[in-house]
């Protein structure tokens, strides 16, 4: 079976080395040496000021909202994985959907502006499939209206805008290091900020608010990463260039073969693709279902990320329908892309698509 993705599994003997070091130190969680080493390496690799590792991308978002005091209505995108909105709701915020741009699939800055009211507390855009949002327009708007911005950068590991990591934008950017991600720690995530005080607050918050044995200055939660996850992350990071270049080969093949016959996500000239996902847009939902079932019949399992548009979920209703998001959600298919996908396999994917359009 060819699935939409497969986690990168690093050389087992290298992982064994890290596992042995965990056995030797007896430290398995609570900011152990491997978590510290991975934080250091990722901070340098992504060239960001502060990066704090957490247990998953959803708690990264929840801690971010809480640390920034986001409370009330929050403008976000209906075209994302459900965790972007459900994390807001879980923290008693009300997601207000602004529609997306039809070519980039990212929240439209103009639509965000139209939704700002006195009740708005923050903006949570997503760099969908790693594609950088309109970060400058969003920053200007947030400054003008005194709003906090949390970028859900779950897909944006290694994405760059104007030569720097797009994760350095916003009050906070978050990452997911779930197994299905380009860079992963089995389960995991990170919170990124350039603000020293905020970074300190986040570090306390993810550790129950505990500063030391005698002092618990604020209310926190347990969102820490453990040492086994960090060990996996260190090994995956060693292989990151292989992971990126093999994904790039698959992505380029899809683009060359399919750009004339299906729709592709538009990236600005100033952004660098990280090849995290390979979405295509079919001409109609009927055509999508035909292509998908032909692929499925051959054991190929692309995914409808993200269907349905989140404004259709029963617990996220009450917003006016977002037409562009609904239209894209009905016609999008994410094709298999991962480093161990063989050329004959992605050639087969393309051939089946071509013969079913
Ligand atoms: N914000 C955004 C924008 C996100 O995309 C996500 C997560 C989050 C926030 C929240 O971050 P986390 O709290 O999850 O860290 C997956 C992931 O579970 C989820 O992390 C991800 N986004 C979302 C886009 O995709 P599913 O339902 O597609 O996973 P699943 O289990 O169907 O896996 C897809 C395919 O991958 C399978 O068909 C087979 C393969 N696979 C998967 C796993 C887990 C393997 O071969 N081995 C494996 O271990 O959600």
Query: pLDDT tens across 255-280, in order?
Result: 999 999 999 999 999 999 999 999 99
Report the chain's mean pLDDT, rounded to a whole number.
Answer: 97
Ligand 1 pocket, mutate which of 58, 156, 180 (most atoms under 8 A from CB): 180
pLDDT, position 218: 96
pLDDT, position 319: 81
Whether the CB of 153 sits within 6 Å of ligand 1 = no
Q: Are strands 189-193 and 50-54 parallel, antiparallel or unpaired?
A: antiparallel
Strands (E), the chain: 2-3, 50-54, 73-76, 94-97, 120-124, 148-152, 160-161, 164-165, 172-176, 189-193, 263-264, 271-272, 279-281, 300-301, 332-334
DSSP 8-state class, residue 167: G
Q: Is 152 helix (H, G, I), strand (E, B) or coil?
A: strand
* Dihedral sign of CA atoms 96, 101, 105, 109 in order: negative
Ligand 1 pocket, mutate which of 5, 178, 191, 338 (most atoms under 8 A from CB): 178
Whether the CB of 58 sits within 6 Å of ligand 1 = yes
Whether the CB of 246 sits within 6 Å of ligand 1 = no
pLDDT, position 163: 94
pLDDT, position 241: 97
Whether the CB of 57 sits within 6 Å of ligand 1 = yes
Cα(266) to centroid(ligand 1), Å:
23
- The β-bridge partners of 191 are 52, 174
State pTM to two decimals. 0.98
Per-residue pLDDT for 317 more than 80?
no
Per-residue pLDDT for 1 more than 80?
yes
Whether the CB of 157 sits within 6 Å of ligand 1 = no
Q: How far apart are CA 186 and CA 178, in angstroms?
A: 5
Q: Which residues contact 202 (CB under 8 A, 6 or more apart)?
A: 50, 52, 63, 64, 67, 172, 191, 193
pLDDT, position 318: 79
pLDDT, position 320: 87
pLDDT digits (tens, 9 = 90+) for 72-90: 999 999 999 999 999 999 9
Q: pLDDT band at 146, cuts 50/70/90?
A: very high
């Amino acid at each position: 079976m060819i699935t939409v993705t497969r986690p990168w599994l690093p050389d087992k003997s290298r992982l064994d080395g890290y596992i042995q070091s965990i056995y030797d130190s007896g430290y398995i969680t609570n900011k152990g040496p491997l978590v510290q080493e991975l934080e250091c390496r990722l901070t340098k690799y992504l060239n960001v000021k502060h990066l704090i590792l957490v247990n998953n991308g959803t708690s990264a978002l929840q801690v971010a909202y809480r640390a920034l005091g986001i409370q009330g209505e929050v403008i976000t995108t209906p075209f994302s994985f459900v965790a972007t909105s459900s994390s807001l709701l879980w923290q008693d915020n009300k997601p207000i959907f602004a529609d997306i741009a039809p070519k980039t699939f990212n929240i439209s800055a103009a639509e965000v502006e139209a939704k700002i009211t006195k009740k708005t507390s923050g903006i949570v855009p997503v760099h969908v499939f790693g594609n950088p949002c309109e970060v400058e327009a969003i920053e200007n708007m947030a400054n003008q209206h005194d709003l906090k911005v949390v970028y859900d950068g779950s897909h944006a590991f290694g994405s760059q805008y104007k030569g720097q990591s797009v994760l350095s934008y916003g009050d906070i950017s978050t990452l997911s290091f779930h197994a299905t991600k380009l860079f992963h720690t089995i389960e995991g995530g990170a919170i990124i900020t350039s603000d020293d005080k905020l970074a300190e607050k986040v570090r306390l918050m993810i550790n129950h608010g505990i500063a030391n044995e005698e002092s618990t200055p604020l209310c926190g939660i347990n969102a820490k990463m453990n040492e086994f996850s960090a060990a996996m992350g260190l090994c995956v990071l060693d292989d990151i260039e292989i992971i990126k270049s093999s994904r790039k080969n698959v992505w380029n093949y899809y683009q060359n073969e399919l750009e004339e016959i299906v729709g592709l996500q538009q990236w600005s000239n100033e952004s660098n693709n990280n090849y995290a996902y390979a979405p295509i847009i079919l001409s109609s939902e009927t055509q999508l279902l035909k292509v998908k079932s032909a692929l499925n019949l051959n054991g190929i399992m692309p995914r409808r990320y993200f269907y349905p548009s989140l404004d259709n979920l029963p617990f996220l209703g009450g917003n006016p329908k977002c037409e562009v998001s609904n239209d894209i959600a009905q016609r999008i298919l994410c094709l298999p892309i991962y480093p161990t996908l063989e050329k004959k396999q992605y050639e087969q994917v393309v051939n089946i698509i071509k013969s079913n359009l």
